[in-house]
Amino acid sequence: MSVIDTEATLHEAHRDNHTHRDVNGGWLRPAVFGAMDGLVSNLALMTGVAGGAVSHHTLVITGLAGLAAGAFSMAAGEYTSVASQRELVQAELDVERRELRKHPTDEMEELAALYVSRGVEPALAREVATQLSKDPEQALEIHAREELGIDPDDLPSPTVAAVSSFGSFALGALLPVLPYLLGATALWPALVLALVGLFGCGALVSRVTARSWWYGGLRQLLLGGTAAALTYGLGSVFGAAL
């Protein structure tokens, strides 16, 4: 194999092993948080009500109401949160855009000084900053990355966050209610299905993190199970008191 072929193979191997997942998208956090919150909150709500010895009909209505209320609340909250964050970023970008227009030389010197602080030779840093500052939009993108730590072309979408949150919360909250909708009359089928769902969600999330699947699954199982046990106990106390 020639040197050129060897280098091409190495470059191809590096490219295949050096790709990264999208860590800036607006869907993963609300989807994960929504599914976990839907499972835990609705499971805790239903076990708390069940602890008060209510009727089967009341328990089902409680679960469905918790699903609907939580899903709409999560979607509205995520939309408002991400939209506000996006508007804040846009405002800061407008500030940077005005500075680049009014004081281009000062902004270029600021960028050069930043590269110097990172170990680049002053002359080279100034040359790089000069080249990058020729295109106003490119200069804005570079300054936004370096000063604000954001990519102007990859801002999270409020709509994506809201839809992801709504769907994942509803799916998670459905698990504790599903056995009752299929004819169950006792709490334990809903409890088992919800706990299995918690373990599965935790294990699934570990696929996009550095944690092992069993660690992620057990962590969510422990957290969700603890919440359900505590609310069941509180429901029993309140039910007896009332």
**Cα-based distances in Å from 65 to 42, 75, 90:** 9, 15, 37
**How far apart (Å, rounded) are the C-alpha atoms in residues 141 and 135?**
10
- Mean confidence (pLDDT) of the chain: 85
For the residues 39-57, what does the mean pLDDT come to?
Answer: 89
Q: What is the pLDDT of residue 56?
A: 87
Is pLDDT at 89 greater than 80 in this prediction?
Answer: yes
**How far apart (Å, rounded) are the C-alpha atoms in residues 58 and 148?**
51
Is pLDDT at 149 greater than 70 in this prediction?
Answer: yes
- CA 31 from chain centre, in angstroms, equals 6
Rg (alpha carbons) of the chain, rounded to whole number: 26
241 pLDDT band, cuts 50/70/90, is: low
- Residue whose token pair is 């709500």: 45
Across 1-5, 158-162, 189-193, 208-212, least confident range = 1-5
Is pLDDT at 69 greater than 90 in this prediction?
Answer: yes
pLDDT 10s digits, 200-215: 888 887 776 777 888 9
Count Cα atoms within 13 angstroms, Cβ side, for 120. Answer: 15
Is pLDDT at 197 greater than 60 in this prediction?
Answer: yes
Query: Do 133 and 139 touch, CB atoms closer than 8 A?
Result: yes
143 pLDDT band, cuts 50/70/90, is: confident
For the residues 147-160, what does the mean pLDDT come to?
Answer: 86
Across 32-41, 93-102, 150-159, 204-213, least confident range = 204-213
Count Cα atoms within 13 angstroms, Cβ side, for 186. Answer: 3
**Cα-based distances in Å from 201 to 2, 3, 208, 224:** 49, 48, 12, 11
SS3 label, residue 149:
coil
**How far apart (Å, rounded) are the C-alpha atoms in residues 32 and 205?**
7
String of DSSP letters for 35-78: HHHHHHHHHHHHHHHHHTT--HHHHHHHHHHHHHHHHHHHHHHH
Is pLDDT at 153 greater than 90 in this prediction?
Answer: no
Cα 33–Cα 35–Cα 40 angle in degrees, nearest 5: 90
Count other C-beta atoms under 10 Å from residue 1's C-beta: 7
Q: What is the pLDDT of residue 23?
A: 46
pLDDT 10s digits, 1-36: 554 555 555 455 555 554 544 444 456 666 777 888
For the residues 53-81, what does the mean pLDDT come to?
Answer: 93
Across 6-10, 68-72, 177-181, 207-211, least confident range = 6-10
